Structure 1
Amino acid sequence: MKKILLFFLPIPILGMILGSNDPVVSLFSGTCLEKALYSLSSSNSILFNLSCGYTISVFFWYLLVEIPESNQRGIIRDNMSQRYISFKKSTIFNMLYASGDVGVDYELVDELLDHKKFREYFSGQNKQRWDDVLNGLDENERHIKDVHNDLELLYNDVSYVLNNIRFANKKSHSLFVDLQENIFRLLNYNDCHYDHVRALSNFLFTMFALWSLVDGDMDEDVVQKMIDQI
């Protein structure tokens, strides 16, 4: 819609110039366009009024719709980005706590926001640490609840974006819907507890380590990219 309105805007502007009762708008007097405009001038009131109406409508649409919507989009994007980082920090903290690390180092939490450091910390020779996380989640319902609380907050944030943003890109909208559905399934998992923990671990490791069995090593944080494109 926006692109269409702006694409056709030069036509009514030209119509205003050509349909004006003044042969040449003062702006173009004494320029190389003056002669051409004299020859094209039609003094057509209908053309002039229609062109003025379209131009004024576009101006007010931009002032009353586009600018407020753009500001709202920026506020939601920045807030969602901060909320996503907060979700990652809280979840990493809860996973470390579930692994038996009672005195969680907050500096370590910040370091593990980097997907490469997260992968290095929980995989390869350090895979036992990830197994400790899964065992902690499996054995203590409180740890599962803590992670569920983090996921529920993220779910609410994603739902807010879907309800308040008009997506111009179908792919971006589809990715947000997929994320929302995946979180919903994790929060409402009906199978046995162990399978739930496995599903939860696959989701979290993919999100934090940017690695999966299907895609392997991923170059960028897909969720953060989605947020940046709001």
Structure 2
Amino acid sequence: MNILLLEDDLILSAELCKFLESNHFTCDKIYDGETFLRQIRNSSYDLYLLDINVPKISGLDVCQTVRSFDKNTPIIIISAYGDLSDKKDAFTRLADDYLVKPFQFEELLLRMNSLLRRKAPSETNDRELIRVDDLIVNKTEQKVYRGGNEISLTLKEFQLLVYLAEAQGRTVSKQQITEHVWEHNFNTNTNTVEVYINFLRKKIDKDFKVKLIHTRSGFGYYLSPL
């Protein structure tokens, strides 16, 4: 199980990760909210641990951003703030649990295992979330995000993006795209695929330095940050 920890106390962060690793988890440490959000766009985790008072973006704002595109991954807030209003704010932003510092690591472990057991039956839902660099495609909700911002796509644009994303960097031909996205409902000699690729580029790539949609001349198209 992979855990991502947002905690700017270097000593606590190191001790907590060491404890989790001794209990057969892997643990990555992040010290500010901005880096945390970048990290989850590139890697997949089973549970998030968030301190509230961290640099750049607070743990509560991180929680709210995560929930805008990921409803399933458990989130536990670990904070020195113990007032009911603080807890209410965290649960309003759809955190799953809240633990006040100082706490016993064993208690945290019990709460983590409880949440992970509840998550297990819906594990297949995690496969509905596709990440490519800072692009996130939520197949279940038919939503797309890049750089934390939602991008509005038409149904065909979304279907085309999903097909490219599921190819995991492999080049797919125009013929393959027409078969999977349009199901032979139009003449493959038309430039429909090229038109929709251009639509996607304007929405997915235009405002970003790193381009994700690429053409391999004579072969087709692929989705990759490289």
- The TM-score bracket by the shorter chain reads under 0.3
Normalising by structure 1, report the TM-score: 0.19
Normalising by structure 2, report the TM-score: 0.20
Q: Which has the larger Rg?
A: 1
Q: Which has the higher contact order (CA 8 A, sep 6+)?
A: 1
Higher share of residues assigned strand: 2
